[in-house]
Chain A
Amino acid sequence: MTRTGHSRAGDGPSHDERSSAVWARATDGFNRWTAGDPAGLDDLVAVMTPVLWHVVRAYRLSDSAAEDVIQNTWLALVRRRAAILDPVAVGGWLTTTARREAWRTAGAKTTPTPVEDDDLEHVLPQQRSAEESVVQHDDGDRLWAAVDGLPERCRRLLRIVAFENRPDYRELATELGMPVGSIGPTRGRCLAKLRVALIEAGEV
């Protein structure tokens, strides 16, 4: 149960360790694929699709719209793999491509009516294993309440930052409608808000 280690003393892999492992596996899969091993592509897809899901869903796309964006991202990779000169950059290339596409898709909606989270919550699948729901019920609900209670901009920014390796702040700023250069400080403020919310919830 390394996942429950988050709010306690640091057992389990840290965010940075996890993401560097993810990125290393992505690079390894990419290298094997371009060397002619189709299983390398399978591994690359397996390790990066979950990351792409969370990055894309931060743009409030429906399940099917998110899937389309992710599929287009993979098709783009296959067709343009020659454009990826540095295998280490493949993870970043994928998340950037997915974010651009997600942003375009989200912006293409004629009326940008923000969906209330209450509405969204009913739609979202709430899958938990039986084991998880026993162990994490109270804990998880309080953590969710803390994250969910953040301002929309913080929720979105932190979700992207949590799942991506090193997002391009310049692009993020454009997409989130924020001044370039304000992402870093905003992220700091958002993390501070989350810290306070967790303390108030008795999680720290």
Chain B
Amino acid sequence: MSELSREALLEIVRGVWERHDPMPDHLVATMQAAAAVADSDLDLELMELVERSTELAGARGSTSYTLRFVHGDTDLLLRVAVDNGSSRVDGWIVPAEPMTIRALPGEDPADVEAVTTESGRFSLTGLPVGLMRLRLEPHDAGRPAFATPTFEI
């Protein structure tokens, strides 16, 4: 057989490592999600948290509390409820405006989103418990998206 060229040897090295220490299957998707979140955060204005209710403990381990965020003229009121591990967020945007509300959970790139009703209400259900933020995308293309700071469910 012919003498192995430098390229052929490096090709062998590459193949060996790809088989013996392969990149974890999930890695590309995880990195795409992390990069995309960081990218969308760059030009994203943050809402300001202006009010937070104390937790209202309900029966059998359910809790709920409310948060109020402000950004410019937009008010966002959230009621966050956790009941036995499943959680939901009910929101109300004032003044009412057509928007897509997207949940950006900390690590899970699960895409939970909702569109506001005519009265400015929306709800997101089946959210993972943990750190979370909401991205608000006005349907008026002239208005840039903005987001809440991270809060915990």
Contacts and interface: CB of A to CB of B under 8 A. Distances in A.
Given A49-B27, A124-B20, A147 B4 contact: no
B28 A46 contact: yes
Interface string B18-50: 111111100110111011101110100000000
Contact of A15 (B2, B14, B27): B14
Interface stretch (A104-112, A159-167, A175-183): A159-167
Interface stretch (B5-13, B52-60, B91-99, B128-136): B5-13
Nearest to A145: B16
B38 A63 contact: no
B30 to A, nearest CB: 7
A79 B4 CA distance: 43
Majority secondary structure of chain A interface residues (helix, strand, loop or mixed): helix
Nearest to A204: B1
Contacts of B3: 195, 204
Contacts of B21: 54, 57, 124-125
Interface in A1-36: 3, 5-10, 12, 14-16, 18, 33
A127 B38 CA distance: 31
B32 A140 contact: no
B149 interface: no
Nearest to B25: A127
B35 A74 contact: yes
Nearest to A10: B8
Contact of B13 (A16, A136, A162): A162
A15 B11 contact: yes
Contacts of B19: 126, 128, 132, 136, 140, 144
Contacts of B18: 3, 54
Given A49-B28, A194-B9, A74 B20 contact: no
A117 to B, nearest CB: 10
Nearest to A163: B14
Given A45-B32, A49-B28, A53-B23, A143 B6 contact: no
The 7 closest A-B pairs by CB, nearest first: A53-B23, A162-B13, A15-B7, A78-B38, A6-B11, A162-B10, A15-B10
Interface of B: 1-4, 6-24, 27-28, 30-32, 34-36, 38-40, 42
Given A41-B36, A45-B32, A158-B10, 18 more contacts: A3-B15, A6-B12, A15-B8, A15-B10, A15-B11, A38-B39, A49-B23, A49-B31, A54-B18, A54-B23, A63-B24, A79-B38, A125-B21, A144-B20, A147-B17, A161-B10, A163-B17, A194-B13
